[in-house]
Amino acid sequence: MTGIWNDLLHGPHWRSTRLLWVEDDTEYTWVQVDTLARQLEDAIGAARVVRIRSASKLGCFAGQLAAWRAGCVAVADDGKLGPAEIDRIRPDTTVRTDLVSPPEVVARTAPRADLPAEVVAVNLTSGSTGSRKVVAVTRDNLAALFACRGLDVPGDGDLVAGSFATPTFDGWWFDTWRTVAAGGAVVCLPSVNEDVFAWSELAERYGIRRVLLPAAVIATIVEALPSSVAAIPWIFSGGEQFRAATVRQARAAGLTNRFVNLYGPTEATFATHGYRLPAGFDADTIPIGQPLDGCEQTLDELAEPGTYELVVGGPLVCLGYVERGALTRRFDGVYRTRDIVRVSGEADLVYAGRLDSQIKVNGMRVDAAALEQQVTELPTVLDCRIAQDGRRTVAFVLGDRAVQPDVETVVKRFSPAIAVQLVAHFPTKPGGKVDLAALMDQHRALDQLVTAKDGEQ
């Protein structure tokens, strides 16, 4: 693995004038990125954990390259890391770059972190189950990801990948570093809220062969602007459960893309399982598939017949959790996901919920994952999310208004206290996952509006 890592950081490709990066209508060659990385490395100096602050994805990427060349842990920050996450990591040096001015050291202290030498980066969880956890990533973790053939896509010439993921999420390693390790080029896509109309032009101009998108983003694009991804042959889904209704809608819109459903906890470098949907896929549920290269799976049988807890192991599993700059829990190459799976007749795993997905509604336990799954299996329903605040529980549903009675019938079987609200789209967080807090804010605002109108009558 050391040879792969050294070649990636110092190989002759960094002297090439081939295209490496496209961002904000600007093209950068390998040698131009190398020059930026050398400037950042000079600024870093003697350090152990380096935080690279940049609003540019290229600034974060070049900063990671520079930090690794300097033998440091690289922490990319596009402005989304808060004080709590920074305190968990405890960088001793912070370097800022805007790609225009020379890199600037904005903070430097004595080393405060005590991380093992093999740690080179961190993943951050989405925070959907509470505060964001920090996970230590080693160079062997990344080398195993680069060597994973199950993530390859066919095509002529060098790979060109679209990049949607932000630098603090594990999808970043797939979008950028795995592409670069294969000698390919990265084309940064504007966010959905900025200029999704530019995606199709970028895809056609540069020949983007694959893109990784959160399931909620794929659903939004397929419904609102399917032409934006029509020219990208391979679309990978990750981060959340990929719904069969989205695939049906994509086919109805005339899209012929190949879809790949990826699964993996943030405690793994990236994905651990994958399923390539066949052209004629017509099942109600999309499997998460089978283990990728570098993943060893164990299925621990649960009380309900035919269900198992998925345990993942191997070089794709990260080193452990980081707290206050130190490793607080080692995974020792094995991580219990607490995800429940079934095994299909084709030996593919099918996600069936979580061991901790039960919520309390009026004192009664409800399996939120099972409820979401059953609602999503209804005709014309595209997706469902269960959200709670201190007083209420709501099933938010993407679907036609005509399906509301059927949705309410399903929901009431779980609990009559769960409200149903149909929505036009799901708001998303910067990383692309559904923003449940924003959905609850919308529900409260609607509730207040209805109450106010009732008071006027």
For the segment 20-65, what is each residue's pLDDT rounded down to a tens digit?
Answer: 999 999 999 999 999 999 999 999 999 999 999 999 999 999 999 9
Strand order in the sheet with 381-388: 381-388, 393-399, 419-423
Q: What are the residue ranges of helices labelled H in 12-120? A: 30-44, 57-69, 83-89
For the segment 321-354, what is each residue's pLDDT rounded down to a tens digit?
Answer: 999 999 999 999 999 999 999 999 999 999 988 8
Q: From the CB of residue 362, how many other CB atoms can be counted at a distance below 10 Å?
A: 10
Q: Give the number of residues written for the chain.
A: 457
For the segment 59-105, what is each residue's pLDDT rounded down to a tens digit?
Answer: 999 999 999 999 999 999 999 899 999 999 999 999 999 999 999 99
For the segment 382-411, what is each residue's pLDDT rounded down to a tens digit?
Answer: 899 999 987 789 999 998 899 999 999 999
Cα within 13 Å of Cα(221), Cβ side: 25
Considering only CA atoms, which of 374, 399, 137, 391 is closest in space to residue 269? 137
Give 201's pLDDT tier (boundaries 50, 70, 90): very high
Do 349 and 241 touch, CB atoms closer than 8 A?
no
Cα within 13 Å of Cα(125), Cβ side: 19
* Cα separation, 269 vs 171, whole angstroms: 9
Q: What is the pTM of this model?
A: 0.86
Helix axes 215-224, 244-252, angle to 10 degrees: 30
Element (H, E) at 452: helix 436-456
Residue ranges of domains in the chain, CATH in brackets:
1-354 (3.40.50.12780), 358-452 (3.30.300.30)
Element (H, E) at 340: strand 334-343
Considering only CA atoms, which of 287, 289, 305 is closest in space to residue 297? 289
- 55-64, 80-89, 188-197, 415-424 — which is least confidently predicted? 188-197
